[in-house]
Structure 1
């Protein structure tokens, strides 16, 4: 009988050493006592990655089981879904969204549907925020601690304003739009979101873990106030039972419920406080917060798609083209302000660390 050889192919023998160099074996996770205090989460006792790994190891830890794995994947998958779903909607239902086409037979230029620009900015802000949050959780090393958290705060601020822009223009009812809050909504949101970004960056630089109550307040209160203000067009419609597009009512109700539930897990370390160490890998509060907020974002996006189709024809007539363009330009201004704020505070990081002897 012919012999069967199980020897690995020659190419495998050639590339295996190279593959081992490119994909090194990752060190096992460690306990909370093995990482600096600022990397510890309350009641989470294990599943931490060592803080002195290379960039390559942190990237490869995407495929490792640790206490941030589900948080990272929930944001990455949500970001991909938001982008793909938007492209599908743009092609199949949105008419290309921006309606870019040659004008006239002679091709005199391009036309842009300004009514869809807020949706484009919303999708951009959502993908930016989810990507920044995933990067913070994945690449959180001792060298990049402050820089990554500043990046996350900018991403959250950009998302909050992008969300406010879309909800204000697509999902608000006439009574809210004509109210005093509706008239000054975007400038107020811009100021509140910017202040929230400043306070969160300041707290990360000056208020250190573990578990300072004033640090938690500096995180929860500004973001909570900003988000409650951002979704006020939706909550007003739900409370007044005066909803222009009844088909999106369940979606908006669900997004508000998911946001409030995620805020509970962001504020309180449950369920891990009842059984420290039991929910280290699956089920701790920060993980549940990220998953619920990702689902909330997906639901919110679907509601905005429906609201855009409902109000698209009347949007320019109701708000005016100049006001829509000015609102979209304010998004870029807010983004620039938050980025510059984070860079200015980041420049103070070495001085602050030297002052504290760290």
Structure 2
């Protein structure tokens, strides 16, 4: 027994030593000759962020430089790593859920699978955009349009689990025929609004661009989350009418958490805080967009757990409300929504290319 115990301690010590060597290994993997970052005065106005005065990566380097900048300090480092860690967390959560959920045989689990896929999808698109968009102006547009496609398909993933698992029977009767088609259309409008706002980035006032990006997304969020809002309201009313006999629903706490985190996300997405209060001091850490990323990951993790609790705890309800083949239809609609959003992004990239080509011709 003592020998086995000592062997395990030795292995643990070796593993800890290996982990401690990771930062040094990463530093050695990145060439020391890589260019440093630049102040905002040395990059084109298009790439400058308000109140961020430094930490910009130089343009028109080889792709290798931008991939390796994952391990370097610049003003996008935490934006990249926040969603990269979130993506890892979703992967770990999927692995744990796969131990108890049969995603292949049980069609009623497919909406949960859509949420997991769309959650990982938007984080992967975000990581790609923040990592590679600094290469050129065209890349900036292309990769952030990809980011908006990721956000739009995540909106669909949110809608499908709320409609399938969280919906109350009274709300289901009212919206059953239109809820998911409307959610799909709103996803496409959200993608179009974000892409167009980015396309007109320097020809419209900032508040106009924000309205174009935020309003469609806000409408999509209000519609997609309406089943959760109604369920929380019903639970609140039931608790106050018959407090002694009210049964606590464990999923509601996580639904409340995802809504709270999302509202904080919306605040930091629309307000450049705290960097507006400390211009030039949040170039690496402390940007509102970084807080937006972290809060969105927390929102997503709460949403995944709430949906899993609904999947396990409300089976008698959603199997009665939804036909056996409806989950397959929702999967097909998800694929169609992703394709439609990708076509919107492709169309907007074409408009960007024409504008950039005209700029070159006029020089």
Q: Which residue number corresponds to residue 120 of structure 2?
A: 127
Among 132, 144, 161, the alignment partner of 1:166 is 161
Q: Extract unaligned runs of 5+ from structure 1.
A: 1-18, 99-111
Measure how far apart 1:84 and its partner are: 1.7
Note the 1:183-194 alignment, pairs <5 A: 183-194=177-188
Is 1:281 matched with 2:284? yes
TM-score (normalizing by structure 1): 0.84
1:152-210 per-residue CA deviation (whole Å, 9 max, x = no partner) reads: 1111111100111111101122222122x454211111111111111221222233279
Is the CA contact 1:78–1:294 (under 8 Å) kept in the aligned structure 2? Answer: yes
Give the paired residue count: 324
Query: Is residue 136 of structure 1 aligned with residue 116 of structure 2?
Result: no
Q: 1:40-79 counterparts in 2 under 5 A?
A: 40-79=48-87
SS across alignment from 1:272: coil
The verdict on how the C-alpha distance between 1:53 and 1:211 changes in structure 2, with shifts beyond 3 A counting, is farther
Q: 1:258 aligns with which of 261, 286, 290?
A: 261
Give the aligned partner of residue 197 of structure 2. 203
Residue-by-residue CA offset, 1:223-276 (whole Å, 9 max, x unaligned): 222222221211121123269970111111111000000100000111111121
RMSD: 2.2
**Structure 2 stretches lacking a partner, 5+ long:** 1-26, 239-246
Secondary structure of the corresponding residue to residue 273 of structure 1: coil
CA distance in 2, matches of 1:334, 1:310: 29
Q: Distance in 1 between matches of 2:321 and 2:29?
A: 61
Please say if 1:344 is aligned against 2:347.
yes
Alignment TM-score, normalising by the size of structure 2: 0.83
Please tell me whether the aligned partners of residues 30 and 68 of structure 2 are also in contact (alpha carbons under 8 angstroms): no
CA contact (8 A) 1:266 1:285 kept: yes
Residues 195 and 210 of structure 1: is their aligned pair in 2 closer, same or farther, counting only changes over 3 Å?
Answer: closer
Whether the aligned pair in 2 keeps the contact of 1:158 and 1:335 (CA below 8 Å) is yes
| Structure 2 residue matching 1:50: 3-state secondary structure | coil
Tell me what 2:103 maps to.
97
Q: C-alpha distance in 2, partners of 1:85/1:344? A: 35
- Of 3, 22, 30, the match for 2:38: 30
| 8 Å CA contact 2:30, 2:71 repeated in 1 | no
CA separation of 1:272 and 1:328: change in aligned 2, threshold 3 A: same
Runs of 4+ with >4 A deviation? 19-22, 242-245
Aligned equivalent of 2:228, options 228, 231, 234: 234
Once residues 52 and 289 of structure 1 are traced to their aligned partners in structure 2, the CA distance between those partners, rounded to angstroms, is 28
Question: Offset of 1:342 from its aligned partner?
Answer: 1.4
Q: Pick from 334, 358, 362 the counterpart of residue 355 of structure 1.
A: 358
Q: CA deviation at 1:89?
A: 1.4
- Equivalent-residue separation in structure 2 for 1:279 and 1:342 (angstroms): 31
Structure 2 equivalent of residue 3 of structure 1: none
Alignment of 1:327-342 (within 5 A): 327-342=330-345
Task: Give distance in 1, aligned partners of 2:34 and 2:28.
Answer: 11
Distance 1:122 1:231 in 2: 14
